Chains A and B, each alone.
Chain A
Amino acid sequence: MAISIKDLTPGFAGEVSGIDITQPLTPAQVAELEAGMDRYGVLVYHDQRFTDEQQKAFSLNFGPLEHTAGGNVTKAADRRLDPHMADVSNLGVDHKPLGRDDRRRLFNLGNQLWHSDSSFRAIPAKYSLLSGRIVVDQGGNTEFADMRAAYDALDARTKAEIEDLICEHSLIYSRGTLGFTELSEDEKRMFTPVRQRLVRTHPVTGRKSLYLSSHIGTIVGWPMPEARAFIRDLTEHATQKQFTYSHKWRQYDLVMWDNRVTMHRVRRFDESQVRDMRRTTVAGDSVTVEQLAA
């Protein structure tokens, strides 16, 4: 059976059928899926009953995996999953929903802000692959926004204004937005801001996109309040309905997206319900801009 991809939204989110991605793939199949990622940005596969090992094996087709260290405040002993699996569930090691005041839960609420995964790393992520192992029936959608279309829709003056702007990204900023400010010295060090271009160019398609993320705290050379007000306006522009796709999860969906051309966020759901989502992340291969010397 041949791979086919149908539009969920025109040119942005595609639904893939005709392939079992839990099994080893041929180089031709991988190339076809990667070409699909370049064309769309978000691909959805249904009924993929992954184990963690199978999810990692599928992800490795697209590059080396990113290590999850440095991306959260969960201590090693409290981790449910191995260090290449990002635990995007609302569960503790006992597989029960985290308590309302649990620090990990409050930190993870930051996923409700529009962001691009690992934009707080000097070399940010290429793809994210999210597997819905246990999903909730109300709420908990993941929404995606097309940063290429959002860039294209800017007026010429704004495009020129932002062309060479550089932003500083850190988990400190996104969490600060929600009033999560109590970080240990180790955490603050771990979350030291990194620099990213605001306009980036996709290495394969050559298309420009807005590199936005809730992790942005300022623009280099700008007064911080002006930078933040401007980034808010750009984010509002970039997340308008016509640029977005809302994914309602079915169990065993696998959704993969290219963080270089998208933002995403999760919507609120009843957190007394179990929601077990597991993410693998394909590492990027380059910085978007020179970093400051440490």
Chain B
Amino acid sequence: MSKPNDQRLGSVEMADISNLTASGNLRERDDNRRMYALGNRLWHSDASFRATGAIYSLLSARVVPVSGGDTEFADMRAAYDALDDRTKGEIEDLVTEHSIAFSRAQLGFAEYGPGNEDKIRPVRHRLVRTHPVTGRKSLYLSAHIGSIVGWPVPEARAFIRDLTEHATQAPFTYVHKWRVNDLVMWDNRTTMHRARAFRDLEEVCDLRRTTIKGTGLTAEQVPALAAE
């Protein structure tokens, strides 16, 4: 949510996953963009807060820290397959609400400023989605989920936490330790990922992401609510 003047990378199509300011210095401890970026340490699927989500993310490592800063991935197909039949039946038709505001609120961040209303308006997604090519089902989980349609909010959140804990167990995950010039691409329709901590006030981490836009909805939107 950085303002145009704060952007370090020229193109709006390059997501800046670094700890740098527009002038290339390390962000200060209280920098609002740093606070916002801490949300990447929660398990999520990129752009799940958009009605169409994202297909692929492609993350290129230009500068990496000496230690920490791994990116972890979790396989939402394997996590789905491992659920018991009762849970599969229970979740089959559930629809969740996603917003960037929900994931950031988990960390106590609520500074969006004016003009960002569209970006934080919740969108709806199926909890179980089917890959259009392979036909495999997967759990569509993300830290951006704030509720399940028709459920009391605390019950929904407790349940989503349980599912997330299940889905991110070690057998379903891969830990990527970055080397300079690695490019990692992943399918957001079948994975979650998160960044791990590093000494971000002392070391530079410069990762740059391009994102392939999703093309379809996973659930019908509430017309007035849907963000593009």
Residues of A whose CB lies within 8 Å of any CB of B are 100-101, 106-107, 109-110, 112-113, 175, 177-180, 217-218, 223-230, 232-233, 267-268
Contacts and interface: CB of A to CB of B under 8 A. Distances in A.
B118 interface: no
Contacts of B147: 179
Contacts of A230: 197
B158 interface: yes
Task: Indicate the member of B30, B153, B162 with the most A CB atoms within 10 Å.
Answer: B153
B197 to A, nearest CB: 6
A101 B156 CA distance: 12
* Chain A, interface SS category: helix
Interface of B: 29-30, 34-36, 38-39, 41-42, 104, 106-109, 146-147, 152-159, 161-162, 196-197
Given A228-B106, A229-B41, A233-B197, A223 B29 contact: yes
B152 A226 contact: no
B155 A224 contact: no
Contacts, number: 71
A230 B35 CA distance: 12
Contacts of A113: 158, 161
Contacts of A112: 158, 161-162
B41 to A, nearest CB: 5
A177 B197 contact: no
13 contacts: A101-B152, A106-B154, A110-B154, A112-B161, A177-B106, A179-B146, A217-B108, A218-B108, A223-B30, A224-B108, A226-B35, A229-B42, A229-B197
Given A101-B152, A223-B30, A229-B197, A268 B162 contact: yes
Contact of A268 (B34, B106, B158, B196): B158
